[in-house]
Amino acid sequence: MSIQTVILAAGQGKRMHSRLPKVLHSIAGKPMLGHVIAAAHAATPDIKPIVIYGHEGQQVLNVFERANVKFVEQAEQAGTGHAVMQAMPHINDADRVLVLYGDIPLITGATLQKIIERTPEDAIGIVTAYLKDPKGYGRIKRNSDGDVIGIVEEKDATESERRITEINSGIYIVPAASLKKWLPELKQQNAQGEYYLTDIILLAVKEGMDIYTVQPEFKDEIRGVNDRAHLAHLERTYQRHAAYELMRQGVTIMDPERIDIRGNVKAGRDVTIDVNVILEGDVVIGDNCTIGAGSIIRDAKLGNDINVKPYSMIDGAVINSDCIIGPFARLRPGTELAKEAHIGNFVEIKKSRIGTGSKVNHLTYIGDSEIGMRVNIGAGTITCNYDGVNKHQTIIGDDAFIGSNTELIAPVKVGEGATIGAGSTITRDAPAHQLTMTRKEQRTLADWVRPGKNKNEKD
């Protein structure tokens, strides 16, 4: 017997007021459906989940075309029971079916493992929770012995039923054979005129099947998203949990409410992250690093003892130990800094290697370059790497000194120990250990008069 997960992701999400299907709206930079698929894989790693898609389905297929899932279309959205019906031809009678939802993005593999393990193979399991404000959720009905006897949707509930605080998350595990028998018996006699999956509970009770309930690890784990306010609430919930997980690993986060983690982050000891930092993709941060306020780090690897000053962006770069970056620096994909390199304010580096101890401190663009060790690049320097069609490389040898406001027209080489005079435009290779410059002679015109403003001209 295996566990077959079915993820319901066909709804329109009218309250999102969006052309985007609801399940494609993001939490932590990833579509909600992506989070649910990940949880399903964590709980049942050897089974490919079935995703029921429908409204604007091609968008869903496009986003998840490489996902390890099986797609089944629900051409007409006629309720949760109808959605599960679409999956049943693809499920063996001997299986158990785990039902999830593409708009409940924070469900964890741990909670899914709990419901799987605590529900006998011949019983139904439900994830429920007790909420102070259960508005919007179906309520769990129990008898005097505490046994589950039904689920009532809020729109169909009486006043006394709405006072019940135990809510139905909609997450079930059910024997497939029973599900195949019950689904055709569902009726549309309810406020929404839909086939409710919740009605299988009444059918199970009639047959005397045992019904088990489990609670999630945290309550927001089973909250659904109906509008953008719900989405924002779960975004901050996700970020809070991610921040506390990093703090438990030894990271100091100055304000856990002002950090965004949108990927997989591994951090060493004694890392300090200031406010409004965004970490995206796969990020590795070594020991004793400081990340300044407002910085963005994406798909990057930082070694030990790195000081990223405020409002810097590191994207697809590898930073070795003891480097200083920023403030307001931008390191683009393909950049590598050797140890003790300094990249300063308003400097952009693209697809270049900066050697050990080299400094690029002010108002500079370095692209498609190999910079040696202990090189000093003055303010306002640019490598002119693009001729309108192709990119070309600039190579600067060890211990070179590039004066301020220099243009290096690639392809070009600056030799080891060479000096380039400030304000030069270098179009040919500059020899090692020599001064190269293209400066014209300075002149002063003694009889020149600064133009005056026309008295009749208005400001």
Who contacts 450 (Cβ-Cβ below 8 Å, separation ≥6)?
Answer: none
Q: What is the pLDDT of residue 458?
A: 64
Catalytic residue among 55, 233, 241, 362: 362
Q: What is the pLDDT of residue 459?
A: 58
Beta-carbon-side half-sphere exposure of residue 383 (alpha carbons within 13 Å): 27
Q: What residues does each domain of the chain span?
A: 3-222, 228-436
296: closest CA among 266, 325, 334?
Answer: 325
Do 190 and 197 meet the contact criterion of CB atoms below 8 Å apart? no
Do 396 and 417 meet the contact criterion of CB atoms below 8 Å apart? no
Between CA 81 and CA 85 the distance in angstroms is 6
Express each pLDDT in 134-151 by its tens digit.
998 999 999 999 999 999
Across residues 279-293, what is the average pLDDT? Answer: 98
101: closest CA among 15, 232, 12, 6?
Answer: 6
For 164-224, where are the alpha helices, taking DSSP H only?
A: 176-182, 200-206
For a pLDDT cut of 90, what percent of the chain falls above it? 90
Active-site residue 17, yes or no? no
192 or 311, higher pLDDT = 311
Query: pLDDT-based confidence at 33, cuts 50/70/90?
Result: very high
Q: Is the pLDDT reported for residue 301 higher than 90? A: yes
Bridge partners for 127 per DSSP:
214
Task: Give the count of beta carbons closer than 10 Å to the beta carbon of residue 203.
Answer: 16
For a pLDDT cut of 70, what percent of the chain falls above it? 99
Q: Is the pLDDT reported for residue 451 higher than 90? A: no
Q: What is the pLDDT of residue 452?
A: 84
From residue 408, give the alpha-carbon distance in Å to each of 316, 350, 427.
Answer: 25, 15, 7
Beta-carbon-side half-sphere exposure of residue 183 (alpha carbons within 13 Å): 20
Express each pLDDT in 159-196 by its tens digit.
999 999 999 999 999 999 999 999 999 988 777 888 98
Q: What is the pLDDT of residue 446?
A: 92
For 88-222, where are the alpha helices, taking DSSP H only?
A: 109-118, 159-162, 176-182, 200-206
Between CA 73 and CA 453 the distance in angstroms is 74
Across residues 206-213, what is the average pLDDT? Answer: 95
Q: Is the pLDDT reported for residue 311 higher than 80? A: yes
Phi, psi (degrees; rounded to nearest 5) at 228 = -70, -25
From residue 404, give the alpha-carbon distance in Å to each of 139, 168, 420, 421, 450.
Answer: 71, 67, 9, 8, 28
Between CA 426 and CA 412 the distance in angstroms is 8
28: closest CA among 262, 280, 225, 228?
Answer: 262
Q: What is the pLDDT of residue 77?
A: 84
Task: Give the count of beta carbons closer than 10 Å to the beta carbon of residue 105.
Answer: 29
**411 preceded by a cis bond (ω within 30 of 0):** yes
For 212-283, where are the alpha helices, taking DSSP H only?
A: 228-248
SS3 445: coil
Across residues 316-343, what is the average pLDDT? Answer: 98
Q: What is the pLDDT of residue 30?
A: 97
Express each pLDDT in 371-411 by its tens digit.
999 999 999 999 999 999 999 999 999 999 999 999 999 99
Do 243 and 259 meet the contact criterion of CB atoms below 8 Å apart? yes
pTM above 0.85, yes or no: yes
Do 157 and 135 meet the contact criterion of CB atoms below 8 Å apart? no
Who contacts 65 (Cβ-Cβ below 8 Å, separation ≥6)?
Answer: none
219: closest CA among 141, 166, 146, 155?
Answer: 166
- The DSSP secondary-structure symbol of 163 reads T
* Fold of the domain built from segment(s) 3-222: Spore Coat Polysaccharide Biosynthesis Protein SpsA; Chain A (3.90.550)
SS3 294: coil
Query: pLDDT-based confidence at 457, cuts 50/70/90?
Result: low
Task: Give the count of beta carbons closer than 10 Å to the beta carbon of residue 221.
Answer: 23
Q: Is the pLDDT reported for residue 339 higher than 70? A: yes
Q: Which two tokens stand for residue 11?
A: 């709804």
SS3 132: coil
Q: Is the pLDDT reported for residue 28 higher than 90? A: yes
329: closest CA among 9, 231, 315?
Answer: 315
Question: What value does the mean pLDDT of the chain take?
Answer: 95
Q: Which two tokens stand for residue 156?
A: 């169909």
SS3 241: helix
Evaluate the CA torsion angle 18, 22, 26, 27 in order and state its sign.
positive
Architecture, CATH, for domain 228-436: 3 Solenoid (2.160)
Between CA 202 and CA 223 the distance in angstroms is 24
